[in-house]
Structure 1
Amino acid sequence: MTTDEKGAKKAVIRQKMLEHQSEAKIVRKIVLIISILMLLFIVVIGGGGYLYIQSALKPLDSKSKSQKTVDIPIGSTVTGIAETLAQNGIIKNAKVFKYYVKLKNEGGFMAGEYQLSPSMDVPEIVSRLKTGKVLAKASLKITIPEGKQIREIAAIMAKATNQKEDDVLNKLNDKEFIKTLMIKYPDVLTDEILNGSIKYPLEGYLYPATYPFYKPNPSVEEMVTVMLDKTRTVLADYSEVSKDKKLSVHQLLTMASLIEEEATVKADRKKIASVFYNRIKKGMPLQTDPTVLYAQGKHKEKVLYKDLEVSSPYNTYQHTGLPPGPIANAGKISIEAALNPEETDYYYFLATAEGEVIFTKTLEEHNQEKAKHISNKK
């Protein structure tokens, strides 16, 4: 290669390098411009979001002199409280209120009727709800004990509010009413309660507790709403465990109700739960007497052999697996037992007259204990 050819080749290489450098500069400029634009976008959006949140925390109407009575039912969630405040025109934004409460780790809100104003900011409202500065004391309190069935609950509600028992029960079973509740509580009331085999859709869903009300005769809707709020609050604590166990709310409350009805004061509920789960795994019928009585709509001290012949999807002597739905309401202890049964190889249990519960592994052992402790057999 001649000297001229070498020089020409170097010139070509130099030209290409200059072109690459020029392209690189253009690319760097483009990247810089895009980066600046993205940064400006983030600043604008972030600043706008910050200003929006700050605005939402301020009073809805700082000049307002009006006072509104706002009822915060027992068992209300933060989401429920936020929605109630927004619906009553007390705060600007329910989501911002909820995030503020969580960010500040606020809690311990007290139920009751509050006098609140749109002129209050969110921190002041939160303070009021925590200190329980309510308008008045409860006009009445309704206590729903554990293990009660929907008919018994209807009777308690009716007596406390001077209503007819049948009217309350009819409302509790009204399909249109049930559907409105399902919309309001989609995480609690699912299509499972509409199963054609279910006797009472809300059976097992009205949590056992004492409920204060701030007017003399609350409606069925108001009472049920407070109770379902409490149910939702209680179940929220177990949502992750329920998912891990692959138990729907309906299945959980159904199993818990069986444990509740079978347990005595001295009973180990987790062991009772283990018997039920062991039987389900083995394909054995649960054979629990309370389901037979529930199918008959009766309360009896003893279940006779003829009672076991009742034709009903609730009859766990005739059908395997869980019954169609809960047979009573269950308290926390039974719910926790349903979620965390003890690991045993028991398939039978027997309650003695003294309230003791004897667990056995085989039918032969069960019959031996039965002969010892039960004089009048079925």
Structure 2
Amino acid sequence: MHETIPNHPNRGRRRPLLKALALLVLIALCALAGAGWYASRLLLPTPVQDTAVRVSLPPGSGIVALAEQLERKGIIRSASAFVLYLKWKKEGGRFQAGEYEMKPGMTHAQIISQLNRGETVKKEMVRVTIPEGFTADQIAAKLAEIGVDAAAFIQAAQQPKSYTAGRASSVPADEGLRVRLEGYLFPETYEWAKDDIPAPGKIVQRMLEELDRKLESLPEGWESAMEERGLTFHELLTVASLIEREAVLEEERAVIAGVIYNRLNRDMPLQIDATVQYLFETPKERLYHKDLQMESPYNTYLHSGLPPGPIASPGLSAIRAALYPADTPYLFYVTKKDGSNGHLFAETYDQHLNNIEASNKNAARKTGQ
């Protein structure tokens, strides 16, 4: 006979437990599947729209604040899902600050790519070109065209000690200077965002920095050349401003520089019309004898030597001519008045008188008289 093995007393109890566990696992799997489906739905693009919205990412802003903004503006469905997606993809560390334009319907990959490349909204810019030979007053008037307070700009240009640019320290403490930083405001094309034009003082600082930068392109040893002539930088800039206002043709700049130094070395008055024109708010078409008698340290008809300071903003070419003048015997020059913008040069006063006569004849022919 075979012995009958009785059923284990716990075997019957395990079956319901296993069924319960299986059911729990099934429920958990269904929940996970549902959660995955729901999460995938949150990662889908929002409905496509043609109207773009602005998204701002300030410097130092985190991905949570960005995600909340994107959700609020309808670019993504869920801020929390987007943050988790970024962490999963190890993205967000290369996002570039700025203002962006995005449209609903963009994929997460497209959003991330735009932020990584820094494809920000291009700000509307304004450009201001300051011509060589402009005075501080003319520069202020030009800047006023884009909304800069002209009076505040001139006031800022009266305070050289307020700026960190190297050459600003060259301005002497001379009460006779009309505008302390006259000549130091480098003529160039400047560009700023239309909605973020700097304050006048910052514009002055930028122009002073441009002067420092341009001086770096001069030939090596230029400061030694300046010192060999016994000039301070302020005096060099003054000579350059005279050249800038007197010479139109590039090939004449060094020659006119040579004439200026020749007259200075002989203690002759420079007799440069531009220094008298500097005394007027608006330059005159023609100077009369009475104008040449106006008392001012800038009037080089009445006073020998250089004026107290520059009379305009010289460009690099004029500064170079002031450093390296032509070796010339000339002491006089007069405009040809033939439309060429050139000059007639002379060694003696008699030759100069002949040149003046020739100049007047050119002018007469030009007007048909």
TM-score above 0.5, yes or no: yes
Cα distance in structure 2, aligned partners of 1:274 and 1:368: 21
Q: Which residue of 2 aligns with 1:213?
A: 192
Q: Which residue of 2 aligns with 1:36?
A: none
Q: How does 1:1-378 map to 2 (within 5 A)?
A: 67=59, 136=122, 139-160=125-146, 162-173=147-158, 175=159, 178-181=160-163, 184-185=164-165, 187-190=166-169, 192-216=171-195, 217-238=197-218, 240-246=221-227, 247-265=231-249, 268-353=252-337, 354=339, 355-374=341-360
Q: Deviations over 1:338-366 (max 9, x none)?
A: 11101010000111212221111001100
CA spacing shift, 1:198–1:282, aligned 2, 3 Å: same
Q: Which residue of 1 aligns with 2:77?
A: none
- Count of residue pairs the alignment pairs up: 248
Q: Which runs of 5+ in 1 are unaligned?
A: 1-64, 70-113, 117-131
Cα displacement (A) at 1:330: 0.8
Q: Which residue of 2 aligns with 1:6?
A: none
The question of whether the paired residues in 2 share the 8 Å contact of 1:193 and 1:325 is answered with: no
Of stretches 136-145 and 249-258 in structure 1, the one that deviates more from structure 2 is 136-145
State the SS of the aligned residue for 1:188. Answer: helix
Q: Which runs of 5+ in 2 are unaligned?
A: 1-56, 62-95, 99-117, 365-369
Cα displacement (A) at 1:137: 5.0
Cα distance in structure 1, aligned partners of 2:252 and 2:119: 42
CA spacing shift, 1:137–1:341, aligned 2, 3 Å: farther
Cα displacement (A) at 1:220: 0.8
The question of whether the paired residues in 2 share the 8 Å contact of 1:193 and 1:202 is answered with: no
Cα distance in structure 1, aligned partners of 2:198 and 2:329: 49
Of stretches 299-308 and 136-145 in structure 1, the one that deviates more from structure 2 is 136-145
Cα displacement (A) at 1:266: 6.5
The question of whether the paired residues in 1 share the 8 Å contact of 2:170 and 2:233 is answered with: no
Cα displacement (A) at 1:333: 1.2
CA spacing shift, 1:310–1:298, aligned 2, 3 Å: farther
Q: Choose between structure 1 and 2: higher helix proportion.
A: 1
State the SS of the aligned residue for 2:290. Answer: helix
Q: Which residue of 1 aligns with 2:367?
A: none
CA spacing shift, 1:136–1:361, aligned 2, 3 Å: same
TM-score normalised to structure 1 length: 0.60
CA spacing shift, 1:137–1:373, aligned 2, 3 Å: same
Cα distance in structure 2, aligned partners of 1:334 and 1:133: 41
Let me know the Cα RMSD of the aligned residues: 2.9
**2:360 aligned partner, one-letter code:** I
Of stretches 235-244 and 203-212 in structure 1, the one that deviates more from structure 2 is 235-244
Cα distance in structure 2, aligned partners of 1:350 and 1:284: 16
State the SS of the aligned residue for 2:171. Answer: helix
The percentage of aligned residue pairs carrying the same residue is 34
**2:150 aligned partner, one-letter code:** E
Q: Which residue of 1 aligns with 2:83?
A: none
Q: Deviations over 1:218-270 (max 9, x none)?
A: 21122112111110111233373123331322111111100000112466100
Q: Which residue of 1 aligns with 2:89?
A: none
The question of whether the paired residues in 2 share the 8 Å contact of 1:136 and 1:214 is answered with: no
The question of whether the paired residues in 2 share the 8 Å contact of 1:115 and 1:135 is answered with: no
Cα distance in structure 2, aligned partners of 1:68 and 1:311: 59
**2:336 aligned partner, one-letter code:** T
The question of whether the paired residues in 2 share the 8 Å contact of 1:287 and 1:316 is answered with: yes
State the SS of the aligned residue for 2:127. Answer: strand
State the SS of the aligned residue for 2:244. Answer: helix
Cα distance in structure 1, aligned partners of 2:138 and 2:128: 13
Cα distance in structure 1, aligned partners of 2:275 and 2:331: 18
Cα distance in structure 1, aligned partners of 2:132 and 2:97: 34
State the SS of the aligned residue for 1:190. Answer: helix
CA spacing shift, 1:281–1:208, aligned 2, 3 Å: same
State the SS of the aligned residue for 1:211. Answer: strand
